[in-house]
Amino acid sequence: MTDGAAQHGPTQDNNSPRLVLATHNQGKLRELRELLRGQVPGLDVDTQVVDAGAVGAPTSPRPG
């Protein structure tokens, strides 16, 4: 018997991020979205490709 809470793999609605880019730079995000546009069937690059800040990832210190 199940309680209905068990899941058999990740679930995701169509608007949730599917690809997180390791950048906080908005210019890089725009550039990478354009490179990905039309390359991955079913991927809406405007809503499903996000930068690291969108998922709360911290910025990393730059060496030097």
What does the pLDDT look like over 1-58, one tens digit per residue? 444 444 333 445 555 778 999 999 999 999 999 999 999 999 999 999 999 999 999 9
Q: Which residues of 12-36 are buried (b: 16+ CB within 10 A; e: fewer)?
A: eeeeeebeebebeeeeebeebbeee
Q: Note the pLDDT of residue 13.
A: 56
Q: How far apart are CA 62 and CA 42, in angstroms?
A: 35
Q: Evaluate whether 48 touches 13 at the Cβ level (below 8 Å).
A: no
Q: Note the pLDDT of residue 54.
A: 93
Domain ranges (residues) in the chain: 19-55
Greater confidence, 64 or 48?
Answer: 48
Q: Note the pLDDT of residue 8.
A: 38
